[in-house]
């Protein structure tokens, strides 16, 4: 499809009907599977009777059929929307049938004029434009017990990687599945590599006129109950993956060849480069920082998610003339500028969704972000030109949170490791000072954000304004001091060179002291909210999967107690330092004006199952010193004794920080970082169904 046709279709998506979207019979090479009944499983809103995926890479076609029974009124409510996502620039959508089976009768609801086509608008507020569209059919008069049967095919017809095909399929799901099949049909199976995780699948193969059909299947699969806090990039399901790429080197080389075709700068861009070089002749570091600022400031970020075309940038002249681009285009421009100045720079493919686990997958173009790798004076630097809120200097651009990167180069042999954030570079420091008058308190709260943590706050300020940040600031304080109320405006200071943002404000806390029913004295509890917001608790069950941690993260928290009875309110000196975390707590000035201090730093993105018991012991040790409770001494005739209050990590799962973080985007890196803190939440019905019927890595 040429660009004029694509532009026309995006102005009027309904024009796709009959051209890029058709209703027709299934391909003749598919096998028609039988649908068998399956008793309902208690608690499951939907029963998946059949999941059938058949792929013919020789025909560049993927056939999908799923048959589900609606068990609850809520499932009926949510199942009325049948959606098919596809990219009209590279894909043809064929809808074969959408049928409802009720009381022994089967009705087909597939008519071309019943299909609405809508432009996806996901993340437009983040500057991300999705090139894909959605074909939508609204089913009427659904009822509990109805069986919905949906068949469709996607045909790829672009010229990107025309000799390659890759795919991943899960064989476990959050819903019970009666029967699942995955067929791979080709006349040349030798060019594909196949891996199967767990391999509890039945297998058969047969010769056909279209090639050898290899089929993996599984029956009566129970719903997999997933725990919270899975590590980023972990696929907990039994799965099968197939690729025609022989190595990661081949992936990098073929993408590099496509990128080479875009290095056409035109006339005006080299003129701009000469101006920059003339301004920074004394320092190479200054020149590098100026080039980065030039790309960030002059090329507006606009994400373009258009399937496999999202891997290839526009040519340099086009990027410069239109003055906007996504991560791959900003990266392409910055790499060209750096190389023209004599620096060793390459675009690097990374994965937001998989992080370092991308290297454990079969080789394929399964990346969703592109950054810049710079080697200068034997130092490695990682620069994300889409991170428009980033400040600081070259010396601190030494890491990104993706763990692994694949350079786009014909000389690439394997992944490069992205260094972990060094201690005391990207961290949060919170200082609280309490002053008391009878049962009430005033609090001065100061929150310092350093490095990438400052970038996230700056992004929130730029996007949502000070009022939004003030609201979040108050909510964070109230998370452990519910009676606190801000009585001054939030003060914000930003030091771009040092890359430090400071938020500060004054709070009142009426009735900060509560009566202890056992002693009649008044007590007050102090909890370092910035620390507990970053530490994951785990339950007492026999967890089958690793525990994901907020990583990288480092926080410091101090609480100054200005109260006559605070003397002797001591947090015991506690130090934990192992391969998972570093933690320290204690008290300064305990004989005069005690200051409680805490420090926590994650050292790994996950805790393996075999180490969860040891990690739980660490949590128990930390929970015994994190909160402090002290009593007032009303009669002044006896010493107050601070009480230890053990926090129950098993019953009190911690939430994510409420201060906003800017995500690094998806396909093509379509938004600004950082994405330091991701948390896997609960799965609703539609999400569960999407996990089943969506492909994990489309070709």
Picking from 418, 395, 351, the residue whose alpha carbon sits closest to that of residue 669 is 351
Per-residue confidence (pLDDT) for residue 179, from 0 to 100: 96
State the average pLDDT over residues 10-24.
66
| Cβ-based burial of 51 (10 A; exposed 0-12, middle 13-18, buried ≥19) | buried
Per-residue model confidence as pLDDT tens digits over 147-161: 999 999 999 887 788
The Cα–Cα gap between 665 and 128 comes to 8
Token duo for residue 310: 């999202």
Picking from 400, 396, 386, 381, the residue whose alpha carbon sits closest to that of residue 459 is 386
The Cα–Cα gap between 341 and 6 comes to 37
Per-residue confidence (pLDDT) for residue 116, from 0 to 100: 59
pLDDT at 225 over 70: yes
CB neighbours of 72 closer than 8 A, spacing ≥ 6?
45, 144
The Cα–Cα gap between 490 and 504 comes to 6
Question: Helices marked H in 466-586 — which ranges?
Answer: 466-478, 529-532
The Cα–Cα gap between 166 and 361 comes to 11
State the average pLDDT over residues 502-509.
96
The Cα–Cα gap between 65 and 635 comes to 77
Per-residue confidence (pLDDT) for residue 631, from 0 to 100: 80
Per-residue confidence (pLDDT) for residue 118, from 0 to 100: 55
pLDDT at 626 over 70: yes
Picking from 612, 494, 594, the residue whose alpha carbon sits closest to that of residue 545 is 612
Least confident of 35-44, 409-418, 625-634: 625-634
The Cα–Cα gap between 432 and 448 comes to 12
State the average pLDDT over residues 676-684.
26
Per-residue model confidence as pLDDT tens digits over 83-100: 888 777 788 889 898 888
Residue with tokens 């297998």: 203
Per-residue confidence (pLDDT) for residue 360, from 0 to 100: 94
Whether the full predicted model's pTM is greater than 0.75, yes or no, is yes
**Cα 468 → chain centroid:** 22
Confidence of residue 215 (pLDDT cuts 50, 70, 90): very high
Cα-Cα-Cα-Cα dihedral sign, residues 290, 672, 405, 668: negative
Picking from 480, 485, 488, the residue whose alpha carbon sits closest to that of residue 526 is 480
Confidence of residue 13 (pLDDT cuts 50, 70, 90): low
Per-residue model confidence as pLDDT tens digits over 194-209: 999 877 899 999 999 9
Per-residue confidence (pLDDT) for residue 696, from 0 to 100: 35
C-beta separation of 362 from 195 below 8 A: yes
The Cα–Cα gap between 238 and 195 comes to 11
Token duo for residue 490: 């939030």
- Give the mean pLDDT of the chain: 84
Per-residue confidence (pLDDT) for residue 209, from 0 to 100: 94
Per-residue confidence (pLDDT) for residue 163, from 0 to 100: 86
3-state secondary structure 411-433: CCCCCEECCCCCCCCCCEEEEEE
Per-residue model confidence as pLDDT tens digits over 245-281: 999 999 999 999 999 999 899 999 999 999 999 999 9
3-class SS of residue 63: strand
Token duo for residue 113: 């004029």
State the average pLDDT over residues 673-684.
27
C-beta separation of 553 from 674 below 8 A: no
Cα-Cα-Cα-Cα dihedral sign, residues 37, 41, 47, 52: negative
Q: Which residue has the higher pLDDT, 81 or 24?
A: 24
For helices 284-298 and 268-279, angle between their N-to-C axes, nearest 10 degrees: 140
Per-residue confidence (pLDDT) for residue 29, from 0 to 100: 96
Which strand (E) or helix (H) includes residue 204?
strand 202-208
Per-residue confidence (pLDDT) for residue 372, from 0 to 100: 97
Per-residue model confidence as pLDDT tens digits over 402-448: 999 999 999 999 999 999 999 999 999 999 999 998 889 999 999 99
Per-residue confidence (pLDDT) for residue 115, from 0 to 100: 59
The Cα–Cα gap between 550 and 232 comes to 10
Picking from 665, 697, 605, 604, the residue whose alpha carbon sits closest to that of residue 231 is 605
Confidence of residue 643 (pLDDT cuts 50, 70, 90): low
CB neighbours of 585 closer than 8 A, spacing ≥ 6?
571, 572, 573, 574, 596, 597, 598, 599, 622, 625, 626
Token duo for residue 128: 């991300």
Per-residue model confidence as pLDDT tens digits over 274-333: 999 999 999 999 999 999 999 999 998 876 555 555 688 989 999 999 999 888 999 999
Q: What percent of the chain has pLDDT over 90?
A: 60
pLDDT at 385 over 80: yes
Question: How many of the other CB atoms lie within 10 Å of CB of 596?
Answer: 26
Which domains are present in the chain?
3-24+41-226+686-693 (2.60.40.3140), 250-417 (3.10.620.30), 428-644 (no CATH)
Least confident of 34-48, 284-298, 673-687: 673-687
State the average pLDDT over residues 667-673.
32
b (16+ CB within 10 A) / e for 12-34 = ebebbbeebbbbeebbebbeebe
The Cα–Cα gap between 16 and 94 comes to 12
| 439 φ/ψ sector (left φ>0, alpha ψ -120 to 50, else beta) | alpha
State the average pLDDT over residues 546-563.
94
Per-residue model confidence as pLDDT tens digits over 90-142: 888 898 988 889 888 877 776 655 555 555 544 433 433 344 567 777 777 88
Question: How many of the other CB atoms lie within 10 Å of CB of 203?
Answer: 10
Q: Which residue has the higher pLDDT, 150 or 591?
A: 150
The Cα–Cα gap between 472 and 485 comes to 13
For helices 452-464 and 466-478, angle between their N-to-C axes, nearest 10 degrees: 120
pLDDT at 662 over 50: no
3-class SS of residue 516: coil
State the average pLDDT over residues 488-496.
95
């Amino acid at each position: 499809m040429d660009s004029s046709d694509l532009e026309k279709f995006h102005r009027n998506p309904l024009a796709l009907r009959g051209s890029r979207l058709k209703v027709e019979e299934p391909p003749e090479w598919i096998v028609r599977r039988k649908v068998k009944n399956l008793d309902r499983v208690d608690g499951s809103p939907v029963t998946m009777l059949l999941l059938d995926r058949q792929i013919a890479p020789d025909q560049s076609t993927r056939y999908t059929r799923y048959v589900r029974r609606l068990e609850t009124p809520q499932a009926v409510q949510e199942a009325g929307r049948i959606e098919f996502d596809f990219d009209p620039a590279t894909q043809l959508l064929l809808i074969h049938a959408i049928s409802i089976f009720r009381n022994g009768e089967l009705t087909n609801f597939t008519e071309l004029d019943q299909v609405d086509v809508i432009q996806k608008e996901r993340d437009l507020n983040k500057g991300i434009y999705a090139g894909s569209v959605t074909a939508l059919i609204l089913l009427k008069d659904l009822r509990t017990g109805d069986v919905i049967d949906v068949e469709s095919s996607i045909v790829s017809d672009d010229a990107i990687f025309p000799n390659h095909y890759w795919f991943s399929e899960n064989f476990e799901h959050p819903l019970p599945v009666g029967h699942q099949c995955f067929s791979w049909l080709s006349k040349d199976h030798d060019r594909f590599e196949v891996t199967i995780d767990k391999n509890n699948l039945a297998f058969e193969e047969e010769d056909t006129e279209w090639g050898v059909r290899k089929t993996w299947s599984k029956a009566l699969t129970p719903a997999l109950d997933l725990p919270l806090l899975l590590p980023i990039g972990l696929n907990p399901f039994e799965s099968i993956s197939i690729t025609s790429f022989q190595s990661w080197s081949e992936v990098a080389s073929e993408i590099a060849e496509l990128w080479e075709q875009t290095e056409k700068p035109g006339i005006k861009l080299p003129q701009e480069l000469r101006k920059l070089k003339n301004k920074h002749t004394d320092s190479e570091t200054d020149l590098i920082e100026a080039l980065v600022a030039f790309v960030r400031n002059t090329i507006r970020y606009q994400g373009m998610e258009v399937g496999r075309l999202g891997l290839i940038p526009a040519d340099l002249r086009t990027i410069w003339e239109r003055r906007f681009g996504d991560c791959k285009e900003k990266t392409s421009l910055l790499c060209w500028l750096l190389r023209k100045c004599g620096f060793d720079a390459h675009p690097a493919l990374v994965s937001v969704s998989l992080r370092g686990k991308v290297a454990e997958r079969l080789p394929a173009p399964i990346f969703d972000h592109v950054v810049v790798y710079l080697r200068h004076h034997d130092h490695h630097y990682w620069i994300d030109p889409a991170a428009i809120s980033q400040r600081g200097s070259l010396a601190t651009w030494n890491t990104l949170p993706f763990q692994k990167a694949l350079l786009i180069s014909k000389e690439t042999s394997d992944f490069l490791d992205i260094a972990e954030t060094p201690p005391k570079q990207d961290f949060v420091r919170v200082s609280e000072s309490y002053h008391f008058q009878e049962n009430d308190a005033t609090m001065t709260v100061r929150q310092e954000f350093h490095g990438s943590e400052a970038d996230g706050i700056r992004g929130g300020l730029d996007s949502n304004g000070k009022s939004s940040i003030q609201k979040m600031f108050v909510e964070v304080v109230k998370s452990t001091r519910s009676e606190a109320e801000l009585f001054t405006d939030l003060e914000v200071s930003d030091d771009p060179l040092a890359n430090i943002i400071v938020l500060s404000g004054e709070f009142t806390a009426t009735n900060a002291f509560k009566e202890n029913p056992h002693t009649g004295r008044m007590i007050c509890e102090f909890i370092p909210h910035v620390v507990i917001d970053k530490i994951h608790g785990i339950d007492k069950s026999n967890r089958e999967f690793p525990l994901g941690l907020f990583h990288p993260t480092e926080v410091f928290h101090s609480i100054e107690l200005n109260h006559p009875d605070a003397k002797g309110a001591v947090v015991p000196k506690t130090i934990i330092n192992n391969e998972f975390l570093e933690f320290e707590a204690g008290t300064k000035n305990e004989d005069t004006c005690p200051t409680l201090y805490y420090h926590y730093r994650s050292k790994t993105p996950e805790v393996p199952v075999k180490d969860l018991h040891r990690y739980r012991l660490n949590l128990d040790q930390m929970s015994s010193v994190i909160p402090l409770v002290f009593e007032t001494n009303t009669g002044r005739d006896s010493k107050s004794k601070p009480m230890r209050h053990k926090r129950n990590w098993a019953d009190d799962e911690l939430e994510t920080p409420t201060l906003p973080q800017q995500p690094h985007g998806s396909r093509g890196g379509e938004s600004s970082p950082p994405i330091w803190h991701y948390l896997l939440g609960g799965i609703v019905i539609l999400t569960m169904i999407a996990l089943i019927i969506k492909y994990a890595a489309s070709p």
